[in-house]
Amino acid sequence: MADVHKGIYAVFATNITARETRTLVGAAPGGASRPELSRDGRTLAFVRRVRDKEALVVMFVLALSPHADC
């Protein structure tokens, strides 16, 4: 039986044209909640659990589409 919780708190990007999915943020350790992609698609902000605290993480994301300006 498949684990329905696998990938929970992970963030994925899917290129619909190429039909490829890649993991931007893995589920462990801390995972990602409340992810927000910037308007220009260059950065991803999310909240990660670190021990008993939460941390705001901002990461640069490689182009998610073939039309992005990099």
The residue among 68, 34, 66 whose CA lies nearest residue 49 is 34
pTM as predicted: 0.67
- Note if the bond before 29 is cis, omega within 30 degrees: yes
Highest mean pLDDT (candidates 3-7, 29-33, 46-50) = 46-50
CB 28 within 8 A of CB 45: no
Instruction: Tell me the pLDDT tens digit for each residue of 32-68.
Output: 889 998 998 889 999 988 888 888 989 888 655 544 4
Cα(4)–Cα(60) distance, rounded to whole angstroms?
Answer: 29
